[in-house]
């Protein structure tokens, strides 16, 4: 854990933790500070606070030059667990990291963590916090975890990039033991990943052992092949998983997306397992996501059942400018953005799949992160030929549960490249040109008296000015061809009087 000298990095998180204990969701707050000191040192600390749990951590990191970096930290925890048990304890950790760019190797060694008998991490403690109405509902696993918390842990991870085109190797493993329990829990994972011309290949082997249980060995193979030469945005996949008992599962799949915005997704899978009472199984699913909702359907089967499922879901937002239909709005959606681009319909909003403006120019962007700056972006390539926006982006910072406005200034009308002539010459370079009926439609004359204007009505008057006084301005009336408004940029000559 290292930070540049004089720089401070901080993080604050608050929320509810969804534990495994009878629907409990303890509220918590977490803060972390990391500050860079002189002489290649970093100090860091943090705290976790909840109703029945407190934890504080303080540590120091050191740069070892070409040898990598090392850090040490200590933590203290206090927890009120089930059955009125109060636990306090300490935990110390040493961590080492080294990256060798020249060889593509990365070594991360959480060398050692030791915890006293009363130390519990927030996750472990939260899973064992049961309210008074559930004190008698502790299962055997809860009772075991109350007295068999983690004592020490070694952890190592390695990765190695191979020459270009050959992929990478990785390995990770850990060993840990528990208070009041003999033996060790061990886990080892080895793997290889590579990709070539869009195809991906992954191999993995995992070994795991627990005190009092039989060791387990598992192997996995995953292959994905693009079918873009025959079927755009489609892939074929194959996976195989097996264990030490010879139980094997194989799956063949075809999946991908369709339509211009990739808002139609599909998947077909056929599988087979030789495990007892398994056999053949398969699934078929299709999902369409549009601006006003989603529709999905699917079919799956196994030796014991057949299922057909389908559904349609969407949302409705009522706002000061009217009513806008949207994609589904679940309780987990914390903030929304209302896109307002009056008169500009069917414009793609790049912040979500299938999101586009309706016939009035409105759209809903769900899934915004509260208190974080978000750029709402329009895809201007989807604008109609007779529509323009001053800016294609809008910045919003929503509060939690808020609907924020992302407004865009729009111009509906023709795009005109007008060549202005005045007094036997061209209107001067740099002159400003404004539409008499709407001064928001304006531009500046370039070389040769040419000016590009958007949002122009079928006919009207323009004012050109290049100084003060009547001798430094002129007016011109124009009439666009009837068939030209939606055919792109219209070239037009106008005499300015």
Structural domains of the chain, ranges and CATH numbers in brackets: 1-161 (no CATH), 315-411 (2.60.40.2610), 414-495 (2.60.40.2070)
Q: Environment class of residue 123 by beta-carbon count within 10 Å: exposed (0-12), middle (13-18) or buried (19+)? A: exposed
At 303-343, the pLDDT tens digits run 889 999 999 999 999 999 999 999 988 766 678 999 999 99
Most distant pair of Cα atoms in the chain: their distance? 101
Q: Which residues pair with 322 in a beta bridge?
A: 319
In 3D, which of 144, 200, 197, 151 has the Cα closest to residue 176? 151
Contacts of 26 (CB under 8 A, 6+ apart): 16, 17, 19, 50, 51, 52, 53, 126, 129
* pLDDT value, residue 274: 87
Give the mean pLDDT of 227-232.
90
Cα separation, 21 vs 17, in Å, equals 11
**Is the separation of the CB atoms in 433 and 460 below 8 Å?**
no
Give the mean pLDDT of 155-166.
87
* pLDDT value, residue 345: 93
* pLDDT value, residue 143: 53
Query: Does residue 131 surpass a pLDDT of 50?
Result: no
* pLDDT value, residue 205: 97
* pLDDT value, residue 132: 44
Query: Does residue 108 surpass a pLDDT of 70?
Result: no
Q: Which residues pair with 336 in a beta bridge?
A: 403
* pLDDT value, residue 390: 86
Distance of CA 123 to the CA centre of its chain: 24
In 3D, which of 358, 365, 416 has the Cα closest to residue 388? 416
Give the mean pLDDT of 364-368.
91
Total-model pTM: 0.68
- Which phi and psi angles does 192 have, rounded to 5°? -140, 130
Structure tokens at 169: 């190797």
Q: Mean pLDDT over all residues of the chain? A: 87
At 472-497, the pLDDT tens digits run 999 999 998 876 555 578 899 999 98
> Helix, strand, coil % (nearest 5) of the chain?
5, 60, 35
At 390-416, the pLDDT tens digits run 899 999 999 888 899 999 999 888 889
Give the mean pLDDT of 346-358.
93
| Helix, strand counts (H, E) of the chain | 2, 35
């Amino acid at each position: 854990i290292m930070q540049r000298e004089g720089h401070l990095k901080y993080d604050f998180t608050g929320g509810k933790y969804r534990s495994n204990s009878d629907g409990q969701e303890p509220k918590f707050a977490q803060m972390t500070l990391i500050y860079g000191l002189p002489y290649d040192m970093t100090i860091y600390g943090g705290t976790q606070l909840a109703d029945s749990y407190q934890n504080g951590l303080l540590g120091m990191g050191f740069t070892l030059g070409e040898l990598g970096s090392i850090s040490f930290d200590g933590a203290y925890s206090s927890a009120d667990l089930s059955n009125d048990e109060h636990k306090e304890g300490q935990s110390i950790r040493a961590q080492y990291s080294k990256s060798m760019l020249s060889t593509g190797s990365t070594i991360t060694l959480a060398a050692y963590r030791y915890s006293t008998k009363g130390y519990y991490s927030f996750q472990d403690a939260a899973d064992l916090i049961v309210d008074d109405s559930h004190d008698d509902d502790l299962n055997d696993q809860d009772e075991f975890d109350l007295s068999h918390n983690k004592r020490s842990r070694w952890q190592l991870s390695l990765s190695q990039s191979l020459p270009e085109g050959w992929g990478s190797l990785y390995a990770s493993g850990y060993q840990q033991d528990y208070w009041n329990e003999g033996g060790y829990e061990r886990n080892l994972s080895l793997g290889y990943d590579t990709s070539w011309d869009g195809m991906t290949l992954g191999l993995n082997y995992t070994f795991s052992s627990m005190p009092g249980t039989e060791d387990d060995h598992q192997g996995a193979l995953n292959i994905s092949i693009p079918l873009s030469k025959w079927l755009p945005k489609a892939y074929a996949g194959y996976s195989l998983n097996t264990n030490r008992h010879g139980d094997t599962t194989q799956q063949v799949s075809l999946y991908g997306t369709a339509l211009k915005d990739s808002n139609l997704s599909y998947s077909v899978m056929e599988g087979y397992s030789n495990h007892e009472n398994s056999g053949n199984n398969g699934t078929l699913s299709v999902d369409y996501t549009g601006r006003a909702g989603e529709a999905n359907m699917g079919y799956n089967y196994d030796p014991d059942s057949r299922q057909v499922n389908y559904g349609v879901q969407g949302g409705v937002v009522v706002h000061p400018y009217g009513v806008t239909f949207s994609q589904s709005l679940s309780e987990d959606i914390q903030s929304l953005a209302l896109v307002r681009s009056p008169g500009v319909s069917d414009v793609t909003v790049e912040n979500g799949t299938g999101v586009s403006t309706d016939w009035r120019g409105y759209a809903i962007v769900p899934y915004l992160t509260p208190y974080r700056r978000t750029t709402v972006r329009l895809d201007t390539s989807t604008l109609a030929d007779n529509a323009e926006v001053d800016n294609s982006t809008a910045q919003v910072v929503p509060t939690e549960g808020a609907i924020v406005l992302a407004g865009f200034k729009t111009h509906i009308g023709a795009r005109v490249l007008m060549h202005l002539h005045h007094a036997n010459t061209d209107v001067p370079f740099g002159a400003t040109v404004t539409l008499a009926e709407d001064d928001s439609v304006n531009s500046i004359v370039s070389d040769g008296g040419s000016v590009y204007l958007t949002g122009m009505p079928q006919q009207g008057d323009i004012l050109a000015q290049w100084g003060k006084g009547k001798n430094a301005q002129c007016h011109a009336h124009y009439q666009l061809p009837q068939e030209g408004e939606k055919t792109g940029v219209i070239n037009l000559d106008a005499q300015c009087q």
